[in-house]
Chains A and B, each alone.
Chain A
């Protein structure tokens, strides 16, 4: 173990920018970015499935509210949403005394809320498109079996919609990772925040930003492989047949 740390210190000696301290910042940044993106995607996905079903409903009073929500969140920049949620909430009188304050006091939760609402809006629209695109034949076959609307949704429409939505959703995951780079405007030390800190401390833009760009690239590759794996293995039986 001492060997490794000696080797490591040796490797880092003679440069000011990649020190154990700054690498520690990058590590904190990586952890924050991963947590933020992962949690917002999971919660966003859980929200998006029922919202997409509501959005595909023929009843206006069910689909319209969801449409308004997705329209607002897709129609405004994420940065603006983040500012409103982080700085805007404090203008409500008495928020500091309310039970919500422990959540809004930290920068992490307002950022998580903004990211979640944003990704849920996009994911809702992705799924809604996939649900709409269900082949007529599948629905007719389900009806012919006497399936109820609910059963048909659960067994036929949702699973095949998932398959169709997967490539578009993979893109959304990558976009979300990249969009998370704005978290540092609300004092979060994410990957970009770490790079900005090192940049402003050592006045060197290239090293820190190139370094985190590489980390983002690696993360993106991991996401790409994960989705390719999902598409190939888990949902192979739903793959469009080429015969």
Chain B
């Protein structure tokens, strides 16, 4: 095995909420071109971990570093969420957070914000530069919608989409920020087996075509086992296991966390 190129490197992450330690000394690495899963029972701290690295929460201790190829590594601690996104981390949300009253295309166009720069004057006078940028934005967004299979919905309002399509729109929107690491928070939640299967293929395709690494939180074990290169398991804020899907599925601690003590007896 050649030396893996890390994209995200999190070391010794601790997150306290008052007296409660939600994350305790977490170390997670995501390498370039990998699909890594973060699993664990409800309340294990998975989403808290996402919120820490995307700047929504400020971790109590620890280092979070993102390595963009060809650029100096950036420490993500204390950066605002939008700056984190600018540095190449994009996420979806567990409970869908689309811009409901905007059209599907506009939802994706909004996410182009940090990669474009026309300002107030540009918007008012609509010079050639602004028009070109706007055109580029529309085309780029449309291509992404094609990729996730939503090109027939461009002018619908986001709130009118069926549930599975809303999930895919969130992925397209996150991709529009041109991330190097895509964070998916339970992308298969509420999907039927057929939709989950399609999502499986979509995630693999996105990894190949867009050249992004993926870190996902998921409860659907079939999906996790089939697409992940590596898996981290959290329980009560502790990292209890890590390794390949096979290693993790045979790990005693993991089985205990999921099925309880009685399994041993």
A, B bound: no
Which A residues have a C-beta under 8 Å from some C-beta of B? none
Which B residues have a C-beta under 8 Å from some C-beta of A? none
